[in-house]
């Protein structure tokens, strides 16, 4: 089970691991963004350099909280809840945090109980 933490403003943060093409593993804090409904993960262009992931699509346009944005799509490998996933990753400029999109809710259960300090993300069995 992935255990998260609440940010100062109630944000939902989870530690995930990103697997580079050469096998290196990078642990990062990712912001769970339920408003990011078009994908799984979004990272800044500068973070891609160390990962060397394969680009699968170029110049995808989508609406973000900051307006219209242009992204490239890469095949990324991440570990969440001790499970490795190969997912499409939106990569663009000016993304201040690593963002987890709501596509994760198709295969995982998000449990939030702020009064008790409980924040978890875990794979729904059978998926």
Q: How many domains does the chain have?
A: 1
pTM to 2 decimals? 0.89
- Of 119, 62, 55, 118, nearest to 95 (Cα)? 62
Q: Tell me the pLDDT tens digit for each residue of 37-91.
A: 889 999 999 999 889 999 998 887 776 656 677 889 999 999 998 899 999 999 9
pLDDT digits (tens, 9 = 90+) for 102-113: 999 999 999 999
Owning domain of residue 13: 2-123
Q: CB within 8 A of 115, min separation 6: which ones? A: none
Instruction: Point out which residues pair with 75 in neighbouring strands.
Output: 54, 88
CB 55 within 8 A of CB 27: no
Gap between the Cα atoms of 92 and 109, Å rounded: 27
Strands 2-3 and 54-64: unpaired
Which CATH number goes with the domain that contains 42?
2.40.70.10
Contact 30/40 with Cβ under 8 angstroms? no
Question: At 47, which helix (H) or strand (E)?
Answer: helix 45-51
CA dist., res. 75 & res. 87, Å (int): 6
């Amino acid at each position: 089970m992935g255990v998260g933490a609440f940010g100062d403003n109630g944000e939902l943060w989870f530690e995930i691991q990103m697997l580079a093409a050469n096998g290196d593993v990078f642990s990062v804090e990712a912001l769970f963004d339920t408003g990011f409904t078009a994908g799984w993960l979004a990272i800044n262009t500068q973070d891609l350099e160390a990962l060397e992931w394969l680009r699968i699509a170029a110049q995808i346009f989508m609406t973000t909280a900051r307006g219209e944005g242009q992204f490239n799509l890469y095949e990324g490998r991440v570990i969440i809840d001790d499970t490795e996933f190969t997912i499409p990753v939106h990569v663009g400029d000016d993304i201040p945090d690593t963002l987890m999109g709501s596509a994760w809710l198709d295969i995982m259960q998000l449990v939030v109980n702020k009064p008790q300090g409980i924040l978890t993300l875990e794979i729904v069995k059978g998926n």
